[in-house]
Structure formats: C-alpha cells, structure tokens
Amino acid sequence: MKITAIIASARKKGNTYKVVRQIEDIIKADYPDTDFIYYYPSEHDTNFCKGCTICITKGEHLCPHYQTVDELEKLITESDGVILASPVYVMQVSALMKNLLDHFAYRWHRPKFFNQRVITVATSAAAGFVGKDTVGYMELCAKNMGMIPSGKINVIGDEFPQSEQVRKKEESQIRKVTGAFISSLKNGKLPKPSIKDLFWFRIWQTTTRIGEKEKMADFRYWSEKGWYNSDYYYPASIDPVTGTVLKAFGAMVRNSFRHSFENHQEKTK
Ligand SMILES: Cc1cc2nc3c(=O)[nH]c(=O)nc-3n(C[C@H](O)[C@H](O)[C@H](O)COP(=O)(O)O)c2cc1C
C-alpha cells in the first residue's frame, strides 16, 4: 500500500506535519509495510501558475512547469491513498496548496485518479468552522480530479493551548477518520456515483465539446476514454428512470450551450 501525503506548509515539521505523522503511525501500526511518502510543495520548483490556460486547452505537457507537475502526477497515480494537508491561512488553504491545486486545474476537465482514496487535513489556531472550508475545498478539488473522498480532519495546531477535552476529541477524530481511510483503501471498490455526480458528468460531457474540438485536449481525452458514449467515468448501474432524466438533462445542457458552440465557430471562421 502506498500513501502520498502532500504537506502544504513551509514549516516541514510544523503542526500539519505532526497530524499527518499521527495518521502514518496509526496506519503503520496495522500495516507496517505501507510506503508512506511526504511531498512538500515548498521543496519543488513549481513557481506560481502563469495563467496561460494551455494545460486545459492544449495539454498539460505544454505547462511551463510541466516537469514538477508531472512528477507529482506520477506519484499520485502510483499511490493508493493521498493526504492533502494544509494549514489554514486567512480562512483558506495556504498559497502553497492553492498553487499546487491551480497546477492541476486540467484534471477537473480530464479526471484520472479514480483509484486513489483521499483524506484532507487542516490545522489552524481554532479549527471548527475556521478549518471547515479548507478541508472542504481540498476535498472538492480532489473529488473533481477523480479521487474518492474518505474523510476530513480539521484540528487545532499542536502549538496552541487547548483543553484536555478538546485534545482528546481531536485525537479520536484523527483515529476515526484514519480508520475509515484504511477501510476504504482495503475495500478497493469504486463507489456508486451520486445523482449529483451523474448530473455533473453530463455537464462536463457537453462543455468538453465546445470550441475547435479536435484541437482541444479535453475532447481528445474524453474521446479516447469513450466518455461521450457513457453515463459516467466508469461503469455504474443506473436505473432506467434516472437514465432517462439524465439523458433529457444532457440534451438541455447541450441546447443551452448551443450559443457558445455557434459563437465560437463564427469567431474562428
Ligand atoms: C499567514 C497565516 C495566516 C493564518 N490564518 C489563520 C486563520 O485564518 N485562522 C486560524 O485559526 N489560524 C490561522 N493561522 C494559524 C495556522 O493555521 C496554524 O498555526 C497552523 O497550524 C500552522 O500549521 P503549520 O505549522 O503546519 O504551518 C494562520 C497562520 C499564518 C502564518
């Protein structure tokens, strides 16, 4: 079993690391052979996303920071589990985490990591509602790249004073989420998509066809995967009523985007 933990703090042994270290210890107590890798975005020469959008339109291999992005992409692909961990900075993820997620924007369009389970971790001075958006945002990004969400940990950083009661509660949160993460890793099955997932799939199925299709990385990827003729990214049993509703929704989305198709064709004539 291989797990990659991405620690988006410049403090390599800071509060966020300490929580991830606890997760590692819990996992290794039962699975000592687990290959547990720490990836620090601060040690990689990614620079800020330049906003050229070329990863989305033409392909990620053209990103000016492709080498770094590709290295991490390979690491994630080889992993069974991923931990996205960030300190809360001004109520959100750190800039290191945001920059990393920006570099993976193309994976929202061309999801891939369907075999990877993910948990998200945030540490802050307060936790509770303060870290809620941070763990939620990292989970949203991971899910849209294909990963299977398996839990969220939102705790107060080790260096901040807190009562024994709170500390105990947080420890039990870490144990509980890590336990669920392990079960999910061992289960290995692809989850049944929710209704929301199925609707989103239909939206992407339409939007990835906008523009000069053959030149677009999304269209090529979706065609290769056969996703223009499927109901989801992977086989999923869908009852006939839901199937009919989804098809009607797909047609409605296509209609509402017709303008974009036509305008774009006009402009590129
Ligand atoms: C720039 C900055 C902004 C921060 N913003 C918040 C915040 O909005 N809410 C909060 O509770 N803690 C905030 N903190 C505290 C950190 O979230 C907390 O110390 C965290 O556990 C640090 O993790 P690390 O040691 O892994 O870097 C902030 C810290 C820094 C440096």
What would the mean pLDDT of 211-238 be, rounded to a whole number? 92
Amino acid 182: pLDDT: 97
User: Closest Cα to atom 18, ligand 1: which residue?
Assistant: 124
pLDDT digits (tens, 9 = 90+) for 188-211: 899 999 999 999 999 999 989 877
pTM over 0.85: yes
The range of the structural domain enclosing residue 232 comes to: 195-267
Amino acid 47: pLDDT: 87
Amino acid 263: pLDDT: 66
Domain endpoint, select from 187, 221, 255: 187
* Number of domain units in the chain: 2
| Top mutation candidate among 11, 15, 88, 94 for ligand 1, by most atoms within 8 Å of CB | 88
**Residue 241: Cβ within 10 Å count:** 8
Amino acid 258: pLDDT: 75
**Helices 195-207, 240-256: crossing angle, 10 deg rounding:** 30
**CA–centroid distance, residue 89 to ligand 1 (Å):** 5
> Quick one: which of 155, 165, 167, 160 has its CA closest to 130?
155
Amino acid 205: pLDDT: 94
Residue 54 maps to which CATH number?
3.40.50.360
If asked whether residues 167 and 60 sit together in one domain, one would say: yes
Amino acid 169: pLDDT: 96
**CA–centroid distance, residue 21 to ligand 1 (Å):** 18
If asked whether residues 220 and 148 sit together in one domain, one would say: no
Q: Residue 38: beta bridge partners?
A: 5
What residues does ligand 1 touch, defined as CB less than 6 Å away? 9, 11, 14-17, 87-91, 123-126, 130, 157
If asked whether residues 248 and 183 sit together in one domain, one would say: no
**Residue 206: Cβ within 10 Å count:** 21
If asked whether residues 170 and 218 sit together in one domain, one would say: no
Ordered alpha helix ranges (H), 10-145 = 15-30, 54-57, 66-78, 95-103, 106-109, 129-144
pLDDT digits (tens, 9 = 90+) for 236-255: 999 999 999 999 999 999 88
Q: Which helix (H) or strand (E) holds 117?
A: strand 117-124
Q: Residue 5: beta bridge partners?
A: 38, 83
User: In angstroms, rounded to a whole number, what is the distance separating the alpha carbons of residues 256 and 34?
Assistant: 49
- pLDDT tier at 266 (50, 70, 90 boundaries)? low
Q: Residue 119: beta bridge partners?
A: 83
If asked whether residues 173 and 221 sit together in one domain, one would say: no
